[in-house]
Amino acid sequence: MSHVLPRLSLLLIVLGLAPLASADTIFVDAQLATGLNDGSSWSDAFQGSNGLQDALAVATSGDDIFVADGEYLPSNTGDRSASFALKNGVTIYGSFAGGETGPDDRPPFGTADSVLNGDLAGDDGALQFSENSFHLITTSGTNSTAVLDGFVVTSGNASASGANRDRGAGILCIGNVSPTIRHCRFIANRCVFGGAAGYVNNGGSPSFTDCTFEDGVGGSFGGAFDIAGARATFLRCLFRGNTAARGGALELFANTGTEVDSCVIVDNTATGGSGGAGIWLGSSGSARVRNCTIVSNTATNQANAGIRNQGVSNFQVYNSILWDNTGVGGGQGAGNQVNASTSVFNSLVQGGFARGSGNVSGDPLFADAANLNFTPGAASPVIDAGDNTEVLTALDYMGNPRQVDVPGVVDTGIGTAPLVDMGAVERQSVWVDLGGALAGTNGNPSLTMTGPLTPGSPNAAALSNTAASALCVIFAGFTQVNMPLQGGVLIPEPDFIRFMFSSPSGTLNLPFNWPTNLPSGFESYYQIWTEDAGAIADYSASNGVQGTTP
């Protein structure tokens, strides 16, 4: 049979017809220096900083592009106008280590970054941005089948005027386009008009899921995004450290239904008189904010720091937390969190909020806000206090179940248990990740605890990403001490210590049975430290985990 296909191809060529294009996988590896450089396999991947552009040039609808870690430039001739143009029907998967068979085999995001880098001369370290790309990603004509998944998008600089070259340095969405962006980290993009990470205008409706937008310098309007006469969907995204005159993170101008769901908006700054360090919206339109945590944003020249709504009546905030946002002069009252013309429901607003219903005002008791862990503490007023009818998604910001009942907390929200919490992070009933990992040879060791913690039940600790075949110290205790140790933080009081060795692949599994005599609400804490020559003081540490018996 093997001779049939070549004969068929020959016949088609004789007839002047090309064989039908099939769905291909095109491989790209910036760091490869051997092979055919034709994209046909990992070993013959398109090479060098232009490798992704080479792949995009030949990709057609139905193709996937697999991109290994490394740096990819929009232009290798210094052309600031060049960008990566998404294509319909083409999914571009980044951040492979190289050699994997599918996108699900990629290592955890952040460990093998594929970087789309607009720093064409490689001199951003010396604060030289004038030669950087205007836009990293362009989306002309795209629909939701144009997909980008797993990239760092950095160092765009939309610094010119005209042709939209003053906006959307990370991604430019002009007209009726709706690309799908997942697992991407937009970092340190800059523009002069607005929307350093992204600009979306008339009719567009892109979606961003599990993305971060950090350290954008947005000029006049929107340090991360400017969405004008359009809509966007943000699900489980982080907006952090962005700055603009108006709309430190998000500018929503005449929006047509932007949805911000299960997002964290933290440490953004608005420097102008219109404020809205977290979100600014105005010029009518509509938008919804659901289950967001909007904290520690600062408006340096306006009272309304968290959200400023400039006269948009069709705008509601549900199941969210507005806390620690600071207006001009240092104010942190309710008006500094959100201005009084906004309708807010089943949310926590520092200082209290009257327009709407179901709102509370106490400290949300975040687990570790300084390290971006916004899990509500055991006594937080946000637990089981949200409105289930405004829940549109199954997972919270951390990727855990969105609606979890905490048995010891009285349900004060709306709907039938399990009731959603306020904020981006749902308090889980048994196990809560406290963060606090200290990186070693294999990045941050990850501790996952599973099991019901019911009397006599089987439970387990599973450690991954730690040093191979190394001594592990398992700490367990009844209280959280947060004691400095070996450059990290020991989270549990070390009431119990056990020594074990990790496997050659850097994992450790420890099953255990829970005692039969401990009461409901009993708390325990866990963390594993590993001898690791790649850590700053020869020990890496996992995240801490808290368990609470149901």
**Measured from the CB of residue 158, what is the shortest distance to Ca ion in angstroms?**
14
**Measured from the CB of residue 380, what is the shortest distance to Ca ion in angstroms?**
10
The sign of the torsion formed by the CA atoms of 466, 472, 473, 479 equals positive
Cβ closer to Ca ion: 4 or 126?
126
How do the residues of the chain divide into helix, strand and coil, expressed in percent and rounded to 5? 5, 40, 55
Cβ closer to Ca ion: 136 or 146?
136
The answer to whether the CB of 184 falls within 8 A of the CB of 178 is no
Q: Which helix (H) or strand (E) holds 435?
A: strand 431-435
3-state DSSP assignment of residue 330: helix
CA end-to-end span of the chain:
63
Cβ closer to Ca ion: 197 or 270?
197
Residues 6+ apart with CB under 8 A from 54: 28, 37, 39, 46
Cβ closer to Ca ion: 262 or 444?
262
Cβ closer to Ca ion: 504 or 519?
519
**Measured from the CB of residue 426, what is the shortest distance to Ca ion in angstroms?**
6
| Cα–Cα distance for residue pair 132/216, rounded to 1 Å | 14
**Measured from the CB of residue 382, what is the shortest distance to Ca ion in angstroms?**
9
- Across 241-280, b (16+ Cβ under 10 Å) vs e yields bbbbbbbbbbbbbbbbebbbbbbbbbbbbbbbebbbbbbb
Cβ closer to Ca ion: 121 or 379?
121
Cβ closer to Ca ion: 400 or 486?
400
**Measured from the CB of residue 291, what is the shortest distance to Ca ion in angstroms?**
11
**Measured from the CB of residue 211, what is the shortest distance to Ca ion in angstroms?**
23
**Measured from the CB of residue 188, what is the shortest distance to Ca ion in angstroms?**
11
- Across 458-494, b (16+ Cβ under 10 Å) vs e yields ebebebbbbbeebebbbbbbeebeeeebbebbbbbbb
**Measured from the CB of residue 61, what is the shortest distance to Ca ion in angstroms?**
34
Cβ closer to Ca ion: 123 or 495?
123
Cβ closer to Ca ion: 9 or 128?
128
**Measured from the CB of residue 295, what is the shortest distance to Ca ion in angstroms?**
19
Q: Which of 489, 461, 495, 491 is nearest to 477 (CA)?
A: 495
Q: Residue 5: what are its φ and ψ, rounded to 5°?
A: -65, -45
Omega within 30 of 0 (cis) for the link into 381: no
Q: Which DSSP letter does residue 390 get?
A: G
Cβ closer to Ca ion: 294 or 404?
404
**Measured from the CB of residue 364, what is the shortest distance to Ca ion in angstroms?**
13
| Cα–Cα distance for residue pair 75/230, rounded to 1 Å | 30
Q: What is the CA radius of gyration of the chain?
A: 25
**Measured from the CB of residue 261, what is the shortest distance to Ca ion in angstroms?**
16
Q: Which of 159, 146, 155, 90 is nearest to 126 (CA)?
A: 155
The answer to whether the CB of 240 falls within 8 A of the CB of 268 is yes
Q: Which DSSP letter does residue 294 get?
A: E
**Measured from the CB of residue 74, what is the shortest distance to Ca ion in angstroms?**
13
Residues of this chain that interact with Ca ion (CB under 5 A) are: 119, 121, 123-124, 128, 132, 384, 404-406, 409, 411, 421
Q: Residue 329: what are its φ and ψ, rounded to 5°?
A: 80, 0
3-state DSSP assignment of residue 337: helix
Cβ closer to Ca ion: 154 or 296?
154
Q: What strands lie across the sheet with 298-299, from one edge to the other? A: 243-244, 269-270, 298-299
Cβ closer to Ca ion: 373 or 502?
373
Cβ closer to Ca ion: 74 or 150?
74
| Cα–Cα distance for residue pair 231/251, rounded to 1 Å | 11
**Measured from the CB of residue 454, what is the shortest distance to Ca ion in angstroms?**
17
